[in-house]
């Protein structure tokens, strides 16, 4: 199933397969994978990551507009499967349409995102854990930053915030 | 800002006998270009004023710092006493933190951990020495505007915006006190128009009497049972390092290059600082101490960091620019 989702995202499935995978996608597990893959993709491309809080915002927005139906929005696209252009469209649609539906249906999207982040870290060995900013570098940098001159001690807050994250001795 | 709609070739052909329309178009273009230059110049002048005000005025206020949905409130007091600056920053929420800046050093007090961290003098007034070239760069890489007046923390302010013309820098919005020029609010905006980070006074007294006691640390300079930690970096020794970044975003120029000694390490760390006049990016190069180094981006508010490897060296690039910019710069660092 995971491989199918991956191929679907890459636009490598034909119309028939597309219908079948869409049916499989109705399971929360498949939805999780779908979200994970997209978040991983976004991470690898360096795109902004969806914050876990946006899930609740999506849910609220969706609740306010009960007429938004993802399958209806997706179906016309079935005719265009297997083209590169569609793959791009799929990514966008996935995040906007399917993503919305998924976030509203699946119970624990923040976990899914957390898992995806983890996966992205492992995959790319690229993303440093949050709060791991080198405070010393930051202070050494601020010495020559114009924003320090303009704002005085204000930017120092960043350094203090960072230092505050260090483990206690 | 294109007002002149004539393609250049057509304009050249009609050059012999300029029509009224083309004359009008040319003069309109000139007017618009002039206006853009004038507002860039105005905005730059306001920033220079703000930098000077931050350095030379007495002020005390409550400062709110916001980033990634996170809010921190602090008390900031600034005193100029006999030409010497003294500044105190106290966190009002979360664990108590205190930063005292004097002409000699910057001391951070962490009372819960009983630690005083001492950094060498870490402020240089870069902005007032903005070169003519950097000022031109600002106009070239940002759409600068001096906007309407707005009220912040009970003061009327002048709003300045610097909108980037490429995706390799953030947008900036500043609110400077109309009378003193002191910056009362500053905001960093990403390419989605979302606020990345914001500093703002919620109340501030400008040019009122500030007692020396108000900028004194709440503890002794070095309390006996506290741990005294010197910052890891020594002072910058300007000199050629042999390193450079080849793919800098447009308008970024080297403002400093040199070495810093790093506590506990034999080899000094090379630091190169590049600036577009509004923000700076630092490139740090050091021999790798750890066998494996995690590379990638990390972010805190408007500051992004990218770490990567180059041969046996660790490259750390850090600055008030978007993740894409620190990555591009880090990946272009090499020997000159």
**Helix A156-164 to helix A135-142 angle, to the nearest 10 degrees?**
170
What is the pLDDT confidence band of residue B159, given thresholds at 50, 70 and 90?
very high
A33 pLDDT above the threshold of 90: no
pLDDT, residue A102, reads 26
User: Strand pairing of B227-230 and B115-120?
Assistant: parallel
Highest mean pLDDT among A40-49, A136-145, B62-71, B241-250: B241-250
Contacts of B186 (CB under 8 A, 6+ apart): A147, A150, A151, A154, B172, B173, B174, B175, B198, B199, B200
How far apart (Å, rounded) are the C-alpha atoms in residues B187 and B147?
15
pLDDT, residue B331, reads 94
pLDDT, residue B105, reads 81
Question: Which residue in A has a C-alpha nearest to residue B62's C-alpha?
Answer: A154
What is the pLDDT confidence band of residue B21, given thresholds at 50, 70 and 90?
low
Q: Are B107 and B100 in contact, with CB atoms under 8 Å apart?
A: yes
What is the pLDDT confidence band of residue A154, given thresholds at 50, 70 and 90?
low
Q: Do A146 and B280 touch (CB under 8 A)?
A: yes
Per residue in B28-74, pLDDT (tens digit) is: 555 544 455 567 778 888 888 888 888 889 999 998 888 877 888 88
Q: Do A154 and B63 touch (CB under 8 A)?
A: yes
Q: What is the pTM of this model?
A: 0.65
A169 pLDDT above the threshold of 50: no
Query: What DSSP character marks residue A95?
Result: I
What is the pLDDT confidence band of residue A88, given thresholds at 50, 70 and 90?
very low
Q: What's the token pair of residue B222?
A: 């070095």
**Helix A2-9 to helix A84-93 angle, to the nearest 10 degrees?**
110
pLDDT, residue A45, reads 47
Of A154, A160, A169, Cβ closest to residue B108: A160
Please give the ipTM for the structure prediction: 0.79
More confident: A96 or B193: B193
Q: Do B101 and A169 touch (CB under 8 A)?
A: no
User: Strand pairing of B59-67 and B303-310?
Assistant: unpaired
Rounded to an integer, what is the distance from CA B288 to the centroid of its chain?
28
Name which of A159-163, B268-272, B289-293 the model is least confident about: A159-163
**Helix A28-44 to helix A2-9 angle, to the nearest 10 degrees?**
50
B142 pLDDT above the threshold of 60: yes
B164 pLDDT above the threshold of 50: yes
Establish if B175 touches chain A: CB-CB under 8 angstroms: no
Averaged pLDDT, A137-141 = 78
Cα three-residue angle B320-B325-B326, rounded to 5 degrees? 70
Which residues from chain B sit within 8 angstroms of residue A136, using beta carbons? 231-233, 262
Q: In what order do the strands lie in the sheet with B142-152?
A: B142-152, B155-164, B171-177, B183-189, B195-206, B59-67, B70-81, B84-91, B98-101, B105-110, B115-120, B227-230
- % of chain B surpassing 70 pLDDT: 82
Per residue in B101-129, pLDDT (tens digit) is: 888 888 888 888 888 888 776 555 544 45
The CA distance from B22 to the nearest CA of chain A, in Å, is 42
pLDDT, residue A153, reads 55
pLDDT, residue B290, reads 63
Averaged pLDDT, A14-29 = 74
- Which of B260, B320, B327, B329 to substitute to test the interface with A, most A CBs within 10 Å? B320
The CA distance from A23 to the nearest CA of chain B, in Å, is 34
Q: Are B292 and B271 in contact, with CB atoms under 8 Å apart?
A: no
pLDDT, residue A139, reads 74
Q: Do A152 and B284 touch (CB under 8 A)?
A: no
Mean pLDDT estimate for chain B: 82
What is the pLDDT confidence band of residue A143, given thresholds at 50, 70 and 90?
confident
Contacts of A41 (CB under 8 A, 6+ apart): A9, A91
Q: In what order do the strands lie in the sheet with B303-310?
A: B237-238, B253-260, B269-275, B280-287, B313-319, B303-310, B296-300
pLDDT, residue B318, reads 92
Establish if B53 touches chain A: CB-CB under 8 angstroms: no
The CA distance from A6 to the nearest CA of chain B, in Å, is 24
Q: Do B54 and A160 touch (CB under 8 A)?
A: no
Q: Which residue's structure tokens are 């933190």?
A: B97
B275 pLDDT above the threshold of 60: yes
How far apart (Å, rounded) are the C-alpha atoms in residues A98 and A90?
9
CB atoms inside a 10 Å sphere around CB B39 = 18
Which residues from chain A sit within 8 angstroms of residue B87, using beta carbons? 152-153
Q: Do B300 and A149 touch (CB under 8 A)?
A: no
Q: Are B332 and B226 in contact, with CB atoms under 8 Å apart?
A: no
How far apart (Å, rounded) are the C-alpha atoms in residues A114 and A131?
16
Averaged pLDDT, A14-28 = 74
pLDDT, residue B270, reads 95
How far apart (Å, rounded) are the C-alpha atoms in residues B297 and A40?
15
pLDDT, residue B79, reads 93
pLDDT, residue B89, reads 87
Burial B64-84 (b: 16+ CB within 10 A, else e): bbbbeeeebebebbbbeeeee
Helices (H), A25-145: 28-44, 52-64, 70-74, 84-93, 99-105, 109-124, 135-142
pLDDT, residue B162, reads 92
């Amino acid at each position: 199933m995971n491989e199918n989702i991956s191929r679907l995202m890459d636009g490598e499935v034909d119309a028939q397969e597309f219908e079948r995978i869409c049916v499989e996608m109705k399971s929360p597990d498949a939805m999780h994978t779908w979200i994970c893959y997209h978040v991983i993709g976004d991470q690898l491309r360096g795109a902004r990551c969806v914050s876990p809080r946006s899930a609740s915002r999506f849910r609220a927005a969706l609740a306010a507009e009960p007429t938004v139906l993802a399958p209806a929005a997706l179906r016309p696209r079935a005719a265009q499967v297997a083209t590169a252009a569609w793959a791009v469209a799929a990514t966008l649609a996935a995040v906007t349409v399917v993503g919305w539906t998924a976030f509203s249906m699946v119970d624990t999207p923040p976990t899914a995102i957390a898992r995806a982040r983890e996966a992205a870290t492992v995959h790319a060995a690229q993303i440093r854990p949050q709060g791991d900013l080198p405070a010393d570098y930051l202070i050494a940098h601020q010495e020559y930053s114009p924003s320090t001159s303009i704002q005085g001690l204000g930017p120092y807050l960043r350094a203090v915030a960072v230092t505050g994250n260090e483990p206690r001795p | 800002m294109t007002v002149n709609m004539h393609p250049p070739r057509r304009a050249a052909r009609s050059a012999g006998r300029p029509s009224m329309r083309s004359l009008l178009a040319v003069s309109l273009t000139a007017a618009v270009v002039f206006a853009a230059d004038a507002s860039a110049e105005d905005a730059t002048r306001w920033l220079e004023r703000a930098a000077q005000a931050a350095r030379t005025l007495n002020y005390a206020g409550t400062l709110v710092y916001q980033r990634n949905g996170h809010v921190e409130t602090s008390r900031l007091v600034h005193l100029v006493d006999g030409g010497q600056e003294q500044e105190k920053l106290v966190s009002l929420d979360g664990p108590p933190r205190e930063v005292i800046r004097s002409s000699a050093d910057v001391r951070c007090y962490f009372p819960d951990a009983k630690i005083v961290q001492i950094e060498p003098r870490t402020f240089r007034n870069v902005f007032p020495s903005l070169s003519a070239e950097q000022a031109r760069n600002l106009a070239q890489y940002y759409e600068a505007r001096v906007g309407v007046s707005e009220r912040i923390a009970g003061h009327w302010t002048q709003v300045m915006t610097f909108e980037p013309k490429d995706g390799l820098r953030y947008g900036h919005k500043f609110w400077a006190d109309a009378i003193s020029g002191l910056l009362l609010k500053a905001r960093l905006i990403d390419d989605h128009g979302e606020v990345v980070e914001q500093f703002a006074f919620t109340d501030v007294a400008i040019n009122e009497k500030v007692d020396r006691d108000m900028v004194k640390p709440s503890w002794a300079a070095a309390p006996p049972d506290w741990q005294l930690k010197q910052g890891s970096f020594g002072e910058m020794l300007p000199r050629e390092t042999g390193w450079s970044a080849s793919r800098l975003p447009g308008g970024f120029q080297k403002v400093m290059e040199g070495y810093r000694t790093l506590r506990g390490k034999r080899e000094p760390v090379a630091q190169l600082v590049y600036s577009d006049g509004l923000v700076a990016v630092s490139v740090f190069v050091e021999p790798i101490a750890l066998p494996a180094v995690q590379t990638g981006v990390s972010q805190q508010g408007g500051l992004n960091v990218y770490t990567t490897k180059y041969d046996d060296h660790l490259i750390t690039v850090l600055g008030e620019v978007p993740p894409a910019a620190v990555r591009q710069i880090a990946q272009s660092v090499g020997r000159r």
